[in-house]
Amino acid sequence: QLQLQESGPGLVKPSETLSLTCTVSGGSISNSSYYWGWIRQPPGKGLEWIGSIFYTGSTYYNPSLRSRVTISVDTSKNHFSLKLSSVTAADTAVYYCARRSGIRQPLDYWGQGTLVTVSS
């Protein structure tokens, strides 16, 4: 059974860089059928797509976040990572990693999510 697990600091200071990793188990991140990505949900609000990556390193970012987002993949560790720079309180959210079975296909598997709070 495929599992995705987010990890990283739960507290980040304003203006610093948020860094999270999603470790994939029960399947290979190098499978050419799948894309991997990040979605976030501010407290009490809806879902927002951050970006996606293919195992080759090709990335697709939400235009509203593109200037601050970097997503990378490490196939040897079967994980992918998110960096969001210059964070503010508005970036406080639960961050989810997820998989989709094609570049334009809906998500099929989700991680459990991790809360990141931006505060000094």
Partner 1 sequence: QSALTQEASVSGTVGQKVTLSCTGNSNNIGTYAVGWYQQISHGAPKTVMFGNSLPSGIPDRFSGSKSGTTASLTISGLQPEDEADYYCSTWDYSLSAWVFGGGTKLTVL
- Residue 96 sits in the site that holds partner 1 (CB under 8 A): yes
Cα distances from 38 to residues 51, 110, 117, 120, in angstroms, run: 6, 9, 16, 24
- Residue 23 sits in the site that holds partner 1 (CB under 8 A): no
68, 61 in Cβ contact below 8 A? no
Among 12-20, 21-29, 57-65, 68-76, the segment contacting partner 1 (CB under 8 A)? 57-65
Q: Choose which of 7, 27, 48, 85 interacts with partner 1 (CB under 8 A).
A: 48
- Residue 25 sits in the site that holds partner 1 (CB under 8 A): no
Q: What residues contact 104, with CB distance under 8 A and at least 6 apart?
A: none
Q: Choose which of 46, 67, 88, 120 interacts with partner 1 (CB under 8 A).
A: 46
Q: Choose which of 31, 72, 86, 108 interacts with partner 1 (CB under 8 A).
A: 108
* CB nearer partner 1, residue 98 or residue 118: 98
- Residue 104 sits in the site that holds partner 1 (CB under 8 A): yes
- Residue 113 sits in the site that holds partner 1 (CB under 8 A): yes
Q: What angle do CA 68, 71, 72 make, to 5 degrees?
A: 140
Number of residues that bind partner 1 (CB under 8 A): 21
C-alpha 120/C-alpha 110 separation (Å) is 30
Rounded to the nearest 10°, the torsion over CA 15, 85, 29, 106 is 100
